[in-house]
Structure 1
Amino acid sequence: MSTQSIDDMPHVMGDDGEFHAQDEAVDLSGTIAEAWVALGFFWVLGGVVFYQFFTRYVLNNSAAWTEEIARYLLIAVVFTGATIGVARNNHIQVDFFYRYMPARMGRVMATVVDVLRIGFFAMASVLTLMMMQKLGNNSRMTMVDLPMNWVYGICLAGFIAMTFRSALVARRHWQRGYSVLERPMTEITDN
């Protein structure tokens, strides 16, 4: 039961009987660079999809290249946008067992998770680079005569950024002595 009185609560009804609410100021200062890149890809994707819609349904003469480019732009949005989840440490995770583990074991397991996450993204970076080297410039896009390595290069950049952000998250966990797995509610207030 709340101990707040009605006078302590925010007032949304004015004396004129109208609803008055003010939004909080938007603060984008904590937005990471990868989020701006993902937003840029998203807007370009939106423009391409709109162009596709316009040419198909308004002009009745669909631009063939838009389908393929939209697919690749969606890949770019996903791989750059996934870095946001890594940086904020809010990807899907299971913390159920950490409630029943001894604190020391939970700390060790959380550190192992951090190391494995860094290792996974680093290995994905290496494998993507190896694949790009094997493909060279021989593999081209279907409708647009551009190298597929451009698309894989964006994936590589995303994996490298995720590796870097994972290392920063692991360092933050090490410095404060716990991770979101051990104390799930603290991460909500930290971000």
Structure 2
Amino acid sequence: MLKWVNDHLEETIMAVLLFLITAIISYSVIMRYIFNDSPSWAEEITRFFFIWSAFISIGLCIKRQSSIRIDILLTVLSEKACRVLLILVNIFIIAVFAYWLKGAVSVTKTLINNGQTSPALLVPMWIIYGSSVVGFALGIVRCAQQVFINAAELRNGR
């Protein structure tokens, strides 16, 4: 079970969110142009799903190593030096995400305490802002995994 979660968590959540976004927008378009009655909640919920998918994608991009980066230095370094550099970069990214996570938790706690809700759906806004907490935490976990993978490769002489 844990292996499946490690391998497919982000992809599954993002696929479900993309399906829901597509279905809700399609429903809204049909209601608007065929029945002349657009639901007021459709735009808001799709925006919330998009926000969640954006933050969930942080962990996925790190896991797949598909983040935007400048690789020119990696092409001229030895394999061992590359691994050391990647470990240092991932440790730096963990520190940045930890700093952002602290701020995201603070904002989310404030929203829990003040009870702010969204205009159309009356969804508690801490649920939406909680996406940043989840995204940054996933980013930290995935960067830590990359550190351990690269450290293991260094120990094995690669």
Give the TM-score normalised by structure 2. 0.83
Q: 1:138 is matched with which residue? A: 115
The correspondence for 1:150, drawn from 101, 107, 127, is 127
Contact in 1 for aligned 2:87/2:146 (Cα 8 Å): no
Indicate how the Cα distance of structure 1 residues 59 and 147 shifts in structure 2: closer, same or farther if over 3 A, else same.
Answer: same
2:139 corresponds to which residue? 162
Asked if the contact 2:83/2:151 (under 8 Å) is kept, the reply is: no
State the partner residue of 2:38: 62
How many residues end up aligned between the 2 structures? 152
Distance in 2, Cα, partners of 1:122 & 1:78: 18
> Does 2:55 align with 1:79?
yes
Secondary structure (helix, strand or coil) at the match of 1:139 reads coil
Q: Does 1:92 align with 2:68?
A: yes
Equivalent position SS for 2:59: helix
Which deviations, in whole Å up to 9, do the C-alpha atoms of 1:108-129 show, x marking residues without a partner? 4332201011112222222111
> Per-residue deviation at 1:102?
7.0
- Contact 2:10/2:56, CA 8 A, preserved across alignment: yes
Q: Which runs of 4+ in 1 moved over 3 A?
A: 28-31, 98-109
Q: Deviations over 1:108-156 (max 9, x none)?
A: 4332201011112222222111111122243211211121111111221
Q: Of the two, which has the highest radius of gyration? A: 1
Which of 120, 123, 134 is matched with 2:99 structurally? 123
Bigger helix fraction: 2
Contiguous gaps of at least 5 residues in structure 1: 1-27, 179-191
Distance 1:69 1:154 in 2: 14
The answer to whether the 8 A contact 1:87-1:165 is kept is yes
Deviation at 1:104, TM superposition (A): 6.8
Which of structures 1 and 2 has the larger relative contact order (alpha carbons within 8 angstroms, sep 6+)? 2
Partner of residue 39 from structure 1, selected from 15, 19, 44 = 15
CA distance in 2, matches of 1:52, 1:92: 34
| Residue ranges of structure 2 left out of the alignment (5+ in a row) | none
Aligned residue number for residue 49 of structure 1: 25
